[in-house]
Amino acid sequence: MFHSTIRPTLLAILLSATAGAALAQDAFTGLDTGFSARLRAGLADGQGAITAGSTAEISAQNLKPGQTMTLRQNGAALADGQTFTADDKGELSAEIAIPAGTEAGTWPVVAEFGTPSFSTIVDVKVSPVLPELATDAFAMTSRQLEGGLYEVGYSAAQDALYVTSATGRGTSDFSALFKLDPETLDIIAQVSPPDAPAREDGRPAGVIGVFGLTVSDEENQIWVTNSRNNTVAVYDPADLSLIKQFESGMAKHARGVLVHDGKAYVGQVFTSEVAVFDTKSLEAAGAIKIESKLRGQTFGIGAIALDTGGNRLLVSSLASSEIAVIDLTSGEVTGVYPTPVKGAIGIAVDAAKNHAIVTGQDSDNIAVVDLATGETIQTVSMGANPLNALVDVSSGLTFVSVRMADRIIALDDAGKIVANLPTGSRPNAMATDGKGAIYLVNKAAGQNDDEGNQITRITKVD
């Protein structure tokens, strides 16, 4: 069973013997010296998060055909001690029940293999479930758009919303940049990006998908990231005409992009460098490298956030769960701080408090970091896979999109949860118009999902 105890040492787990176990065999025999299986834990039906009372599935690939597996946790056999056998492709899957009342957290499950033998740990993350809260205090209006929605931005100069959309695996078979009316969410304009460069393998190249987005009223530009083509592009916010498509390879797995004072800053996911572009000449302008302060760790970028008043760029590290502060006047990294979250994917700035809000998708929480000291001053449980955060100055609230819980959470000035609102499937990025409206885009959980790929306008009820 899953229950709170002191975690046994890995050695003790791996060497423990259980009478009558299906995989019982002589110790120290038949070792799989080339073991390279990939194990993954997820919800049994493939959608949503593992929670107390649900059924999880542990799948394995790259096993030897006929290799067997049993599972145990805290010394107790799971799945009634059943033995699972890899098929002729070296694949298997096993369902395990997560008892009601299981404490939220990441639980180590021991996978014991036989013929040939090996043992390893697979982490099973059991996510908390937070109740809906204050649903009648907010008005939410949604409309569906074509494709998989990624980011949204607002332009005060245009009084318009912009949304990026892309679909496909490896290549983008559809992509669009939308311009919307911020009140009605009606489409004002829509443009498709150009065709992607030909592939060496001869397969269809698709289009240059648009993913990350920022609107600069100062520069009268929209910058987008083309993650699958490792580059960026610039569009005109008035008519969505393409100003410049940069060559492939200029920004490795570009995710987020922000513009400030004549420069565009691009977060290159899982690398340690922020790519920089000149918004006047539309040329590459170097990169800013970030070094991890943790021994043996590498800073691998997740997201970026801009503090315009402080002339700073904040960067989260997915790889090391740190955050970095970059002085944009000098281009120097002025601080790198550890956080207690795992999988630091999103980051936002509360400039008035000199705080950073970091989302931990692998620890199901957020951390509030004091940028004056680098110390974490608060953590808050969010539910399954918090993704992005947004500080809305007009309302004084911080919003967090909780991806696998299909919720958006609002926190007050003290970090207390004051609303937990259903959003439809897989909430993603957010934007504010600075006048009281929050805009959220979400993706689909699968085909024929009526609650996926929506743009939602959220306002407080007077």
Tell me the two tokens of residue 356.
């950073």
Q: Does 449 score more than 80 pLDDT?
A: yes
Helix (H) / strand (E) element for 440: namely strand 437-442
Q: In degrees rounded to 5, what are phi and psi of residue 318? A: -65, -35
Question: Which whole-number Å values give the CA distances from 359 to 169, 317, 421, in the listed order?
Answer: 26, 11, 18
**Start-end ranges of CATH 2.130.10.10 in the chain?**
135-460
Mean per-residue pLDDT, 397-424 = 97
Tell me the two tokens of residue 145.
């758009």
pTM for the full predicted model: 0.92
DSSP assignment string, 419-431 = EEEE-SSSEEEEE
Q: How much is the mean pLDDT over the chain?
A: 94
pLDDT digits (tens, 9 = 90+) for 147-173: 999 999 999 999 999 999 999 988 999
Q: How far apart are CA 396 and CA 382, in angstroms?
A: 19
Tell me the two tokens of residue 192.
């498709």
Q: How far apart are CA 452 and CA 455, in angstroms?
A: 9
**Start-end ranges of CATH 2.60.40.10 in the chain?**
10-126
Tell me the two tokens of residue 349.
């700035």
Burial class of residue 141, CB neighbours in 10 A (0-12, 13-18, 19+): middle
What phi-psi label fits residue 115: left (phi over 0), alpha (psi between -120 and 50 degrees) or beta?
A: left
Supply the pLDDT for residue 47. Answer: 78
Strand partners, 264: 259, 277
What phi-psi label fits residue 364: left (phi over 0), alpha (psi between -120 and 50 degrees) or beta?
A: left
Q: Taking the CB of residue 369, how many other CB atoms lie within 10 A of it?
A: 28
pLDDT digits (tens, 9 = 90+) for 214-261: 999 999 999 999 999 999 999 999 999 999 999 999 999 999 999 999
pLDDT digits (tens, 9 = 90+) for 54-107: 999 999 999 999 999 999 999 999 999 999 999 999 999 999 999 999 999 999
Domain 10-126 has CATH 3.40.50.300: no
Q: How far apart are CA 461 and CA 236, in angstroms?
A: 34
CB 253 within 8 A of CB 269: yes
Give every CB contact of residue 71 below 8 A, 6+ residues apart in sequence.
58, 77, 78, 79, 94, 96, 109, 110, 111, 112
Mean per-residue pLDDT, 264-292 = 98
Q: Does 299 score more than 80 pLDDT?
A: yes
Q: Does 15 score more than 50 pLDDT?
A: no
Domain 135-460 has CATH 2.130.10.10: yes
Mean per-residue pLDDT, 411-419 = 97
CA count, 13 A, side-chain hemisphere, 68: 12
Q: Does 114 score more than 80 pLDDT?
A: yes
